[in-house]
Chains A and B, each alone.
Chain A
Amino acid sequence: MPINVISSGIMTTIQDLGRPGYYHLGIPMGGAMDRLAMRAANLLVGNPEDAAGLESVFVGPELEFTEDATVAVCGAELPPRIDGEEQPTWTALSVKRGQVLSFDFLKAGARAYIAVSGGIDTPPHLGSRATYAIGALGGVDGRAVQPGDSLPLGKASGTARPGTSVPMECRRLPGATAKLRVLPGLYWHRLTEDAQRRFFEDTWKVANEADRMGYRFQGGRPLDFVPREQPFSAGSDPSNITDACYPYGSVQVPSGQEPIVLHRDAVSGGGYFMLGTVISADMDLIGQLQPNTPTQFVKVDMETALAARQERNTLITAIRKAIG
């Protein structure tokens, strides 16, 4: 028995933990931008952590349930309502057949993850239900959710316990000034020492062009390059390189102007230099940044990056324990 979509907000897509293994063909791993929130929502409703749910940006959808279910909303502070009655986020909620799940205005963050017991059971492509609209993969016939869609559900495990919450200390959202830790590398040597320092000194702001492919930042001073004769086939702009792969989280700065951090639906390669990469532990946070959020890039080394990753893994373990 499906969920009927009454409205779909600004952009609601089906996401899971993605389809790694095809990046060499230009098909990105995709999946939830905030993976910790997606995992937590699934755990609350008794799903495997990689089950498919919904990712809603800024505005929540309106969903009518045609059977009893458990739902959970994690990530952004986008308070859910069941038949108009306000409910807590990060909590397993009981929804009865015929009831409508809707949402209040966004209070914090950018993306809410809605998990439903049983998981959304649209056909997987290349091992995932994640929506990758450019390649028409996953989602509802390769696209985002639209009003009038019926979203099929899988079989619920029956282990969900409504009322269970994720402890406050395990919920993660960026601060008023976001801090994104960056490991310098890749084509870092292309920047002058001055530019290398400036990039980390300046406070940047999230631009309007911020989506699943990447987040653009503005407001910092332009970066300049160590002069060189451009290599054959690299292109004439000093920020050009011979087209190469782009790591997830890599920071490219076309013409030294506005940094772009590539995210889960990254283009897999291109001809712009990259100064480094946002560490894996901070990728989830990017998915929760609203336009205009002040952002500071923080220089870290590999040891710090790996310690931060461990910390994040510990957080996931703590959530599993608290819910399990």
Chain B
Amino acid sequence: MSRYTFGGDEHVFVEVDEEMSLEAFFTSLAMTNAVREANIDGVTEICPANASFQIKFDPDKIHPQKMMDMLKEMEKTAEKQEAKLNTRIVEVPVYYQDPWTHETLMRFRERHQDPNGTDLDYAARINGFDSVEAFIKAHHSAPWFVSMVGFVSGLPFLYQMVDRSRQIQVPKYLRPRTDTPKQTVGYGGSFSCIYSVRGAGGYQMFGITPMTIFDPRQETPYLRDFMVFFKPGDIVKWRPIDREEYDAITADVQAGRFEPRTKDVVFSLDDFNADMDGTNAKLMEALYAD
């Protein structure tokens, strides 16, 4: 049973688990989907997170205790549901060790655990990799789940789809930076992220993607329907690219010619837990078919 608590008189906060796991994430996603479908009068925000979620409501319309009781009832139903998701897999090009995040990380060296190396040097070393190249390969070899969207404008948090013993873990900066380039691919705890806008940040910086993921003007063709690209439950495959391809994709994005490679897939948590590498291989087949 999850832990239920009030966030003032306008929020119910539900911690499914203290630890991150795909099981906790699936419960959070299933329950927030159930709340959305229930269409409860007075509910104004439905926010899934990694291993928890939050509902905002108008207490003039629904009493906080009643709101909490309804959620507890829904958990009973959600528990019985099969952890299966109709979702999509997206390929995101990443230029690792790019000059822009490098320039930024050098500017904030005194806020970092390892002032003499780069963020990637540090992450590779503390995770037991022989080289930065081997670490980068581990970062993009298996796919990732978007387990939360938030912090600021459409920023995805991603959780790697590998056994816990293979999870990369890297602490955040000792003190947050005041600057991070837009579309930086970052890392903190056991989560990757893509900074959707330029600004403050505490995650380690590994590279940058040329792909726009937040466009308030909605001029990007694949963001015409909505300004935010990612939603919880999306699966992401990082694809390493070099400077030449980064420049080419950037030009395509600016000209409105870029379309991210995307395929619809069905994901079953049971199948994944039974055979992680096999499930991931099938996802890759689906992504690169045709």
Contact = CB atoms under 8 A, between A and B. Distances in A.
Contacts of B49: 243-245, 269
A125 B60 contact: no
Interface in B131-149: 148-149
B8 A245 contact: no
**Chain B: interface residue count, which band?**
35 or more
Contacts of B169: 233
Contacts of A250: 7-8
Interface residues of A, number: 50
A154 interface: no
Interface string A257-295: 000000000011111001011111000000000000000
A245 B155 contact: no
Contacts of B177: none
A183 B152 contact: no
Given A269-B49, A271-B188, A134 B153 contact: yes
Contacts, number: 178
Determine which residue in A135, A142, A250 has the highest number of CB atoms from chain B within 10 A of its CB, and name it: A135
Nearest to B159: A233
Contacts of B164: 232
B52 A247 contact: no
A48 interface: no
Contact of B11 (A29, A247, A309): A247
A250 B172 CA distance: 22
A125 B51 CA distance: 31
Contact of B216 (A26, A125, A247): A125
Contacts of A188: 5
Interface in B40-79: 44-54, 56, 59-60, 63-65
The main secondary structure of chain A at its interface with chain B is mixed
Given A183-B9, A185-B6, A234-B19, A24 B150 contact: yes
Contact of B189 (A23, A243, A302, A306): A243
Contacts of B47: 23-24, 245, 268-269
B197 interface: yes
A231 B17 CA distance: 9
Contact of B45 (A24, A249, A306): A24
B150 A183 contact: no
B15 interface: yes
Contact of A26 (B54, B152, B190, B191): B152
7 contacts: A21-B45, A24-B45, A25-B231, A186-B13, A233-B20, A234-B20, A270-B151
Interface of B: 5-11, 13, 15, 17-21, 32, 44-54, 56, 59-60, 63-65, 148-155, 157, 164, 169, 171-172, 188-191, 196-197, 199, 214, 216-217, 228, 231-232
Given A134-B152, A242-B17, 11 more contacts: A24-B32, A24-B48, A25-B153, A27-B228, A135-B153, A231-B17, A233-B51, A235-B188, A244-B52, A267-B151, A305-B9
- The 5 A-B residue pairs with the shortest CB-CB distance, nearest first, are A247-B7, A277-B8, A233-B20, A245-B54, A268-B150
